[in-house]
Every structure is written in structure tokens, then in C-alpha cells.
Structure 1
Amino acid sequence: MFINKKIFKSFIFSFVSVFLITCFFPNNDISAGEKGGTLKYGVKSKIETYDAHGANAYGVMHYIPQHYSTLVTFNWDNFPELEGDVAESWNVSTDGLTYVFNIRKGIKFHDGTPLTAKDVKATYDRLYNPPEGVRSARKNLFSSIKSIETPDDFTVVFKLKSPDGALLTGFGSPWNSIYSAKDIAKGPRWHADNINGTGPFRFVEHVKGSKWVAKRYEDYHFDDNYLDETVGFAIKKIVNPMLGGQIMAEWRAAVPPVVKVLKEKMGDKVAFQTMPMLSLMMITLNAEFEHFKDKRVRHALTLCMDRHKGLPTLAKLTWTAPQPAAAVMPGSEFALPSNELEKLPGFGRDMAANRAKARALLKESGHQNLTFKYSNRAVAHPYEQIAIWLIDQWKKCGVSVEQISSPTPKWVKMRRSGTFDVTIDFVSGFLPDPTILLAKYTSKDRNPQNYSGYIDRKLDDLYEAQKKQPDPQKRKALIHEFIKHSTDLSWTLPLSFMNRTIALDKKVKGYKIAPSLVLNTDWRGVWIED
């Protein structure tokens, strides 16, 4: 098997070491779940599609996963250990080029259609080699796949072009909803507006701007879908819906001021779970914006930002982490040491020198009176707080910025179409493996999540090299080179990873927070205490 067990254990240990420092799980319940009840939760983001394959917004993942299954999933008591979902078992060849999955028998889609290997093949064909009209945001993740075979109705064989150490865990991504081949044949847009999965809860209705309703799927292939019903409500704030009993949870995050209010108002009726997140906030510059084609201008913008002083202040107001980061979680196995990070543009501690250099670069490039529009997402946390801080930082270097805030669907379309000067952006990983976290930075023609639009073959080559490299020290060197080159390019200006705290009504049992907004959101194992 290509995934060296020693390397993988080291990877898991470094991940757990970083995350357990601040993890807090007061609401865990190890007793068996009770059938019945309605889980009422809030979602602050609108969604623009039901198709998880092409989506990248967390709101999609707070509604959609409960309706679908994936090939494999994670053991939430021992993340990131894998366990089967649609796949009952699997094995990987010693050369790492063949993955064989044995599909569980007796699974049915919500419309009654039996699930077979053909549905898995059709799903992954759509993900790694999307036909015209289909957007796959996971295309880069599965770029090592050469072909998919189905020797019988319950066996799927993936053939690879080259070994890929992150592929097996990549199959556990919640974005990889298993679709029916019959539904896929209905056209590229069908899944954007329709739902038919094999997940624990079947879709009932979506009243846009109001609620999302699902009922327990009685023919589900596991017995841990305890809830009778789930209802997701569209909300703008957390406090009043929680205090009034409209919702029992909000899965994105409660910022420090909200946590304080809920503790004061709800007392022992509310519980909190806290964990650092695999989401890195960043600023993306449009490669087609004429002024940004000069790297001196891009360097000036990142040099203006006092990350070391500003991020700890932001962390008290919203859910950004207090320490600067570039691409990989600080303190994890593959992260740049802090002394090397501080040598990169924008990460040095001498702000007087940084800003003097920024002004000199702007003057030297002929852009000392630089102006541009900053396209923001019209969501309070952390977007408004980051925008206020950023605009103030750039102003200190003589840069004039106009902020434009848009609702999530409009903002998503704006990023994809490239109709912006500068925008807020993020890497939302579901695993700490660099293959997943670094995919965002590869060239636009290989990666639809590169909203800047640049092409850089050195980054592409480094990405592929680290993905194939089994030696951990050699891989680390490649990853460090990737981070340094990406940061020097400065098409994306990284800020920090996020800290996440969720608030739960004490009646909600069986849920465990995960290090991503998109993980563990199918409500399996969740139950309501009377």
C-alpha cells in the first residue's frame, strides 16, 4: 500500500497535537441515541445550488450532506480515520496505482432505485473528468485518476496515473455526494435543482429564505439516523433564535461576543464545542486588473498589513485565529517554521520598515495613488471585521479602497466570473494534508477555485511533485518551496486560519464538532434528549 503507515500516523499525530490544545467537547454523549424528535438549526448563508460537486460555500454543506452518502467517511471519534459508507471495504495495491472498493449491497436511492457500482463510477467520472456544462470544484483533487472500472455490480476499481498519498482520504470528502447514474444522465444542471440520494434523511422541501425540511429515510443502510425530522431555518443572527427556541444549534460559529451573551442568558441550557478550523482566510487579487500585473504592487498590498498585531485583535471580535499563517496550519508537520515565515512578504514584524517599503514599491511602479474596489461577502463574521481592518491597513500606505458588499449568491457568482478587483477568499479544507490545502493555489486552467485567474506552472509542478513524493522530508521541502513561491507571487494574500465555537441546546446529543464547517453535517448519530 502506497500510503506509508508510519507517515500517516505521524501526520495524524501532528494534526491531533495542534487541534487538541484548544478542543473542548462538553456536550459529548456516549449513550445510545433515542429515536424521534426534530433538530432545528440555523443557517446564515443562502445557497445557490444543490449540486455539491461544483459548490464551495459552507451553506450547501449545512443542508445537502444529510441527503447523500459518500464512498467512505470519517470516524468522528478518531478523525481522520476512515470507515466505510457506500463502500463496505477496500484495498490498495502495493504500487499505489489501483484502488478497489467493494460496494455495500441493499442500498437504495430515495426514489427506490438500487445503488450499484455504476452509480459510483458515474459520480466519480463527473468529479474527475466533468463533461461540458458540469462544474467540478474537486477536479484537481482527483487529477491522479486515469480510469474507473466496474467489473461487476458491486466492485469499483480506480486506476491511477501515479501514486497519490492523499487520494484515499480524499474519497471521504463530504462534497463527493454519490449520485444516481440515471439522474446524471438527465443533464448537467439536474443536480443543481433536484435531490435524490441515499443519505440518512430524505429531502422534503426548501422554502427559499425561510426553511429546509428533511425526514428520516427509513431504508437507510445504517441505523444511526435517530431524528424524525431536521429543519434548517434561514437566520441572520444567532442570539435571538437560540434564546427564543426557534433553533437548537448553528453550525458555522458563534463569535466571542455571542458566546458571552448566550452563556449569560441561557446558563446551563446551552453547551459549547470549540476547535481550530482548516479554513484559511485570504485576499485574492484579480490577475486581469492591470495594476496588479506588476508584482511590486501586489507586494505593497501584503506589506501594508500588520498581521502580528491585527490578527490577535480580530480574534477577540470574530473567529479568526490570532496567529498569521501561509497555506498550511501553523505548528503542523508541514508548516513553515515561524522564523522562515517572517522572511516572506507581509509576514515580517517591523511594520515601519514594511510600510516604508510598500510606499516605495507603489511609487516605483507608478501607483502611489492606487485605488481599487474591494468586493466583500455581506456576512457579518468574519467578513465585515476583516474588511474594516484591511481597508484601514491599506490606507496607512496611501491606498484608497471602496468596499462593495454582496449577498452570498451574488458574491459567489462574482468570484467565479472574475468581475472584481480584490475580494475576500478562503481555503476550506476538510483534511490538514497539503495536497488538499494547496490545490487552491494551482493554475486557473487546472483549478476552478483559483478565482484570481493566474497561471503559474512552477506552482503546478511543485504541487504534483509533493503529491507523489512518499518520503516525508523530501515532501516537506517541496511544500515549503511551494509556500514560499506562492507567497512571493502574492496573487493571494493569506491572513490566518479560523477558530470555531458552536453553541448547542443541551438537549442536542451525539454531535461532535469537526475541524471544518463542511464536516460531520449529515446529522448521523445526533438525537434529542427529552
Structure 2
Amino acid sequence: MGKTIRVAGLAMALVLGLAGVVYAAPSEIRIGVALEPPVLDPTAGAAEAIDIVVYQNVFEGLTQIDQNGAVQPDLAESWTISADGLTYTFKLQADVTFHDGTSFDADDVKYSFDRIKAPDSLNAHKEFFADIESVTVVDPLTVEIKLAKPSGQFLFDIGRGDAVIVAPESSANNATDPIGTGPFSFVRWDKGSRVVLERYEPYWGKKAALSKATYVFISDTAAMTNALLAGDIDGTNNFSAEALDVFKADPRFKILVGTTEGETLLSTNNKKPPFDNLKVRQAMAHAIDRKALIDGVTYGYGVPIGSHFAPHHPYYVDLTNTYPYDPELSKALLAEAGYPDGFSATLKLPPVAYARIGGQIIASQFAAIGIKLELINVEWAQWLEDVYANHDFDLTIVSHVEPFDIGNYANPNYYFGYDNPDFQALIETLNGTTDEVKRKVLAIEAQTILAQDAVNGYLFELPQIGVWNAKIEGQWQNAPIEGVVLKDVHWVD
């Protein structure tokens, strides 16, 4: 004799055994996330929100990035590298299937990389894979990739969401009906509401403990707080710091504070006057009070940065004093640049708290030196179109969450509009260097150039603050790459 009860909003079975009454741990989870992805294909969009849902859950790559930021095998069980560093031979996992039942083999790997490099590719970061010279199928479980030049980042880059393996039978529909090889298969996407995943029972690797995962889109902090307290969701990976107090003394919850790869920037259109003037950019840099910004936006959880690099990375150098807070010097630099009375500009803000709140603080700080900012709130899709794609902006605030993405500054067509041939040559050398000591020296030089050129306003490293049901284990505390990885998440009694 038994019955069904509700605990933390999830159904749990009541089972009678020899030892008495045993409650089975829940096998479903509902996760609140701030942004809805524009598509569900990580190889066809730049938005972090895509990987939050599907990376290592629905889709997998030859390699994967673990929670410490290290490269691990995934669909490739092993690999060898030629002495000249140009040829990688991957041995693939056997008995892998896509979620539609089709088999995975070396042909799918070749198709996936050929698709990334195709002229009509929608991949947001084709530059990561530009040095792939050829992909050759050796046999069904062996594939050879040849590079035009050595790359110290290659194994990491093919572990990104941009390089997950897709099948020719289903790739055309992955934007709305994603089919991968991961531990969870896609069930449905209720636009504006949620994405539902279910455990893929024929999965080739370790079976996930969760039978079902639902990503619920909640952009408002108050609504996220209420959903957590009511048990409508079981956790969120990235919560706003200003509302944490309600959970700190509540034993039903635990708070996980970790690091991210999110360099939060006052992104600047370097091709557009007056921002093409170095003195103007230096004036803005001196006008930013990072401490006030970090206290106001992250309640002290953010880490100040002086260039585009994560503070936890071994290559990091502290450049926060390159342009220390000095409003009077800002005014002098503006006068030297021909703007003694300042100027007016727009600041486009996507729908995340750090941008909207940060925009108000930056506007106040800039007003003190004569720069008058018009704050324009935009939805994420509009930001991607106006700012990222069409470069129609003066200033914006956004966190760049991709790991080791300093190379974006070597692309003059990237939305920053930064065109420095010396920096481009430096990044080319860095990318082709495999010696770790030399790579660190080059990376520090690259950070220093960006800081001195004040390409953007370098504000702080975005923290990851998770709020979870206290009975959930296995979630990542840190975010070395975009994603809420589910494979080790489980409930405990």
C-alpha cells in the first residue's frame, strides 16, 4: 500500500521495504535561467543562452571542457599529435547514436567541421577553426584533422559549443529541434516559457541521474526569487546578488559562489567618433569608479579587471591601475581631445541586471565629467542585431563569457571595431605557440596593449552566484565555459 506525496514541488514515490518507509529521491529538476536562447543550435549563434541549455547536455564535441577549465575526452576517446603539431588523429567512441537513432561515426565529424568552414556557415566563431586544412575519415572510428599551423588552443577550441558534432540527417533543424549525442534529448521548446529535456536512455556514456530537466526562462529577479521560494524551480545557476539575503538563512537552500569567464565591459564602438580618439577613451577609463560599480551591481562579488582576461587564469596580469579613477584627469583629456564641454552618446543595455544597473551607475559617473548618456534598454534579440551584428551603437554593457576570447580583438570586423595590425600579429603568434611559458608572455603583452589602448571600459569579472535546493548536488560551482551541465547533477536524501 502506498501513496504519492509532494516534496519541494516534485512528486516522490513512497515505497515500503524491509527497513521501513523509504523515500526515493526526485529524478527531475527545474532550473531558472535569465535569458531565453534565440536558437538551440550552438553552432549557429553567439548567445550564451544557447550553451546554457544544450552544451554537454544535448550536444557533445570531440573534446569537452570540465568544471576546472581543463580539456577532457568526449566523443573522441583518445588522440595523438604528430611531431610537427599539425596532424591530430582522433579515435572515436564506439556504439554512439544520435537522439533520432542514427549512428555516429567519423563521417559525422568530417561533416560537422566542413559545415563550420563552409562559406554559408552560420557559426559565430569560424575564426577558431580557420586553420583546419583538412578533415579525413581514416575508418568509421578514426578521423584525422590537419592544421595549417600549430595551435596551442586547438583541443580547447574543439571542446567549445561552437564545435559540437552534428549529423547531416538532422543539422538543418537543430535551431528548433536539436538532435545530438548527449545524455539528454530535446523534448520541446515552449517559446517564452521553457525548454524540456529528458534522459537519453541509449546514451553511450554514464547515464544521467536525472530523468528530466526543464529550463524555465525568468528574466526578472523578483520573479526568480518568488519561483525559488515557492518551489516552482529547484535552482538557478546565476542569481542577482542584491536578492541573496532572503536565502542565506534559509536551510532549504544553498548558495554557491564561483567564478566565470565573463569579462564585463563598457563595450565601445572604436570606429565611431568620438570613440576613435584614444584620449576620449582614456578619459572614459579614468571616469570609471570600479569599486562603486562593483558594489552597486554585484554587491561586492565582482572582481575588478583592467583588460580582457579572467583573473583566475594563470596568464592574467593585473592592469586595473593603468587608468585609475581620476575625474579631473578625465576632464583634462576630454579638453585635449577637443571636447571641453563633453559630448552626448547612447548606451544600449541588454535585459540583464548587471547591464541595466551598471548603465545607471556609469551614466552618473560620466555625467560628472560632461559625458551625457542616453540609456536605451533593448531586448536580447535586438542587442544581437543592432550591436553585435550591425555595429549600430555608441556604447553598451555586456559580459563576454567565452573562455580565452582575447583573440576577438584581432578581428577588425568584430563589433568593437578595434583595428590594430600589431595586436593582430601578436595574436597570430600566440595562437601558433604551444610552449606554455612563451604563451603566457605573449598573453600578458596582449592584455597590456588592450589596457593601454583603452579599447573598452574594463569593469569587472562577472561572478557566478548559484541558488539551489540544498538537496541538489553535482552542479558546477564555477563556469569556465558557458553551460549548465547536468550529467552529474542529482538529488540526495
TM-score normalised by the shorter chain: which range applies? 0.7 to 0.9
> Judging changes above 3 Å, is the alpha-carbon distance between structure 1 residues 163 and 49 closer, same or farther for their aligned structure 2 residues?
same
Partners of 2:246 and 2:280 in 1: how far apart? 43
Partner of 2:380: 408
Partners of 2:93 and 2:390 in 1: how far apart? 40
- Do residues 279 (structure 1) and 262 (structure 2) align? yes
> Judging changes above 3 Å, is the alpha-carbon distance between structure 1 residues 256 and 59 closer, same or farther for their aligned structure 2 residues?
same
Partner of 1:40: 30
> Judging changes above 3 Å, is the alpha-carbon distance between structure 1 residues 164 and 505 closer, same or farther for their aligned structure 2 residues?
same
Partners of 2:139 and 2:189 in 1: how far apart? 37
Give the deviation of 1:150 after TM superposition. 1.0
Partners of 1:249 and 1:353 in 2: how far apart? 45
> Judging changes above 3 Å, is the alpha-carbon distance between structure 1 residues 124 and 470 closer, same or farther for their aligned structure 2 residues?
same
Partners of 1:516 and 1:409 in 2: how far apart? 25
Partners of 1:475 and 1:353 in 2: how far apart? 38
- Do residues 327 (structure 1) and 308 (structure 2) align? yes
* SS of equivalent residue, structure 1 residue 491: coil
Give the deviation of 1:213 after TM superposition. 1.1
Task: Confirm or deny: 8 A CA contact 1:358 1:397 kept in the other structure.
Answer: no
Partners of 1:360 and 1:475 in 2: how far apart? 39
Q: After superposition, what is the alpha-carbon deviation per residue over 1:102-133, rounded to whole angstroms, capped at 9, x for unaligned? A: 11121111111101111112212233x2431x
Partners of 2:294 and 2:382 in 1: how far apart? 31
Task: Confirm or deny: 8 A CA contact 1:36 1:528 kept in the other structure.
Answer: yes
Partner of 1:115: 104
- Do residues 422 (structure 1) and 395 (structure 2) align? yes
**Identity of aligned pairs, percent?**
23
Structure 2 matches for 1:194-273, cutoff 5 A?
194-235=177-218, 236-237=220-221, 238-251=224-237, 253-264=238-249, 267-273=250-256
Structure 2 matches for 1:496-515, cutoff 5 A?
496-515=460-479
Task: Confirm or deny: 8 A CA contact 1:443 1:457 kept in the other structure.
Answer: no
Give the deviation of 1:490 after TM superposition. 3.1
Give the deviation of 1:334 after TM superposition. 2.2
Partners of 1:242 and 1:144 in 2: how far apart? 46
Partners of 1:215 and 1:300 in 2: how far apart? 52
Determine which of 316, 334, 340 is the counterpart of 1:359.
334
Q: After superposition, what is the alpha-carbon deviation per residue over 1:455-513, rounded to whole angstroms, capped at 9, x for unaligned? A: 33222111011222344444333323322322333332211112222011022222232
TM-score, with normalisation over the residues of structure 1? 0.82
Partner of 2:406: 438
Give the deviation of 1:523 after TM superposition. 0.8
Structure 2 matches for 1:85-124, cutoff 5 A?
85-124=74-113
TM-score, with normalisation over the residues of structure 2? 0.88
Partners of 1:508 and 1:115 in 2: how far apart? 32
In the alignment, residue 243 of structure 1 is paired with which amino acid? Answer: L
Partners of 1:513 and 1:114 in 2: how far apart? 34
Determine which of 136, 144, 151 is the counterpart of 2:123.
136
Determine which of 299, 320, 343 is the counterpart of 1:317.
299
* SS of equivalent residue, structure 1 residue 523: coil
Determine which of 360, 365, 375 is the counterpart of 1:388.
360
Q: After superposition, what is the alpha-carbon deviation per residue over 1:24-78, rounded to whole angstroms, capped at 9, x for unaligned? A: xxxxxxxxxx8862111111112212221232322212222221122122444xx
Task: Confirm or deny: 8 A CA contact 2:256 2:465 kept in the other structure.
Answer: yes
Give the deviation of 1:325 after TM superposition. 2.9
Partners of 1:524 and 1:500 in 2: how far apart? 19
Partner of 1:306: 289
Give the deviation of 1:332 after TM superposition. 4.4
For structure 2, the residue ranges without an aligned partner over 5 or more in a row are 1-23
Task: Confirm or deny: 8 A CA contact 2:98 2:179 kept in the other structure.
Answer: yes
For structure 1, the residue ranges without an aligned partner over 5 or more in a row are 1-33, 431-435
Q: After superposition, what is the alpha-carbon deviation per residue over 1:423-468, rounded to whole angstroms, capped at 9, x for unaligned? A: 12332133xxxxx2312212234xxxx2123433222111011222
* SS of equivalent residue, structure 1 residue 67: coil
In the alignment, residue 35 of structure 2 is paired with which amino acid? Answer: S
Give the deviation of 1:335 after TM superposition. 2.4
In the alignment, residue 371 of structure 1 is paired with which amino acid? Answer: S
Task: Confirm or deny: 8 A CA contact 2:327 2:368 kept in the other structure.
Answer: no
Task: Confirm or deny: 8 A CA contact 2:334 2:342 kept in the other structure.
Answer: no
Task: Confirm or deny: 8 A CA contact 2:327 2:369 kept in the other structure.
Answer: no
Give the CA RMSD over aligned residues: 2.3
Partners of 1:331 and 1:196 in 2: how far apart? 34
Give the deviation of 1:207 after TM superposition. 0.7
Structure 2 matches for 1:112-191, cutoff 5 A?
112-127=101-116, 129-132=117-120, 134-184=121-171, 186=172, 190-191=173-174
Partner of 2:346: 373
> Judging changes above 3 Å, is the alpha-carbon distance between structure 1 residues 494 and 123 closer, same or farther for their aligned structure 2 residues?
same
Partners of 1:378 and 1:278 in 2: how far apart? 19
Partner of 2:324: 348
Partners of 1:358 and 1:161 in 2: how far apart? 45
Give the deviation of 1:261 after TM superposition. 0.9
Partners of 1:96 and 1:368 in 2: how far apart? 56
Task: Confirm or deny: 8 A CA contact 1:376 1:405 kept in the other structure.
Answer: yes
Give the deviation of 1:303 after TM superposition. 2.3
Task: Confirm or deny: 8 A CA contact 1:301 1:358 kept in the other structure.
Answer: no
In the alignment, residue 375 of structure 1 is paired with which amino acid? Answer: K
Partners of 1:517 and 1:478 in 2: how far apart? 22
Partners of 1:198 and 1:470 in 2: how far apart? 31
Partners of 2:437 and 2:73 in 1: how far apart? 31
Partner of 1:52: 42
> Judging changes above 3 Å, is the alpha-carbon distance between structure 1 residues 333 and 230 closer, same or farther for their aligned structure 2 residues?
closer
